[in-house]
Amino acid sequence: MARALPRPNEASKPAGRANGARAVRAAARRQAILDAALDEFAAQGFAATRLDDVAKRAGVAKGTIYLHFRDKETLFQEIIRSVLSPVVTTVESAMQVDIPIRVIAGQLVEVFVREIYGTRRKDVIRLIISEGARFPSIAEFYYREVLSRVFAALRALLARAAARGEIKGDALIRFPQLMGAPVILAVVWNGLFDRFEPLDVRAFLNAHLDVLFGPGRAA
């Protein structure tokens, strides 16, 4: 199991001056629980995950989980909410640069491959897809904090590109989701069918860009 996540926005708990040690340990434990829980939730789904296993994997006692999270559902939501948000800003920024959409799209592929597909954030996306329907607040949070922000930036980007004549029809303008569809497929495929037929995600997404914007150079 991938253990670490590139976490740009460190800092977390203030830790004051005095017993910083204790605060640090607490934060570490909390993170260990989050990590372990993500592993378990990703592997078993929400309902089938036992907090006993989470505790064991995190190396803490069962009761310790409850020192950091109110209950199983809160723990779950905490993971979903905390893991993806950091990338949103990165993606937004990349979209706002005033260069050809084909270039930006290529950068986004790299960001996705590196920051999401190559990390456990991929599992979080899978969890949202799998469990989102049962946790309306999660779907809502994800739509509000992630999707709508990304889509806003994407629409602006597409408008600029259209103005520059980089896009042919109006399909992408009307359905920006088309740009993200292969990303979803990649995550789903990875979870279900990679062992039967592996998918080279980077190549796959770049091929998609070729379809959208005409062939680029690199793959």
Partner DNA sequence: GATGAATGAGGGTTCATTCAT
Partner DNA sequence: TATGAATGAACCCTCATTCAT
Please state at what angle helix 72-96 crosses helix 20-44, rounded to 10 degrees.
90
Q: Which is nearer to a copy of itself, 2 or 43 (CB)?
A: 43
Q: What is the CA 122 to chain-centroid distance, rounded?
A: 6
Q: 8, 24, 43, 50: which one contacts DNA (CB under 7 A)?
A: 50
> Quick one: what does residue 21 bind among a copy of itself, DNA, none, with the CB cut-off 5 to 8 Å set by partner type?
DNA
Residue given tokens 């993170």 in the structure block: 31
Nearer to a copy of itself (CB atom), residue 45 or residue 86: 45
The answer to the question of residue 12 lying near DNA (CB under 7 A) is: no
Residues 70-129 that bind DNA (CB under 7 A): 71-73
Three-class DSSP category at 79: helix
Q: Does 25 bind DNA (CB under 7 A)?
A: yes
Is residue 51 a contact residue for DNA (CB under 7 A)? Answer: yes
Among candidates 112, 99, 93, 87, which has minimal Cα distance to 204?
A: 112
Among 49, 79, 87, 142, binds DNA (CB under 7 A): 49
CB 74 within 8 A of CB 133: no
186-191's contacts with Cβ under 8 Å and 24+ in sequence apart are 186/117, 187/117, 187/122, 187/125, 187/126, 187/129, 188/126, 188/129, 190/117, 190/122, 191/126
Instruction: Find the binder of DNA among 15, 31, 64, 119 (CB under 7 A).
Output: 64
Nearer to DNA, 72 or 160 (CB): 72
Q: Which residues bind DNA (CB under 7 A)?
A: 19, 21-22, 25-26, 29, 48-52, 60-64, 66-68, 71-73
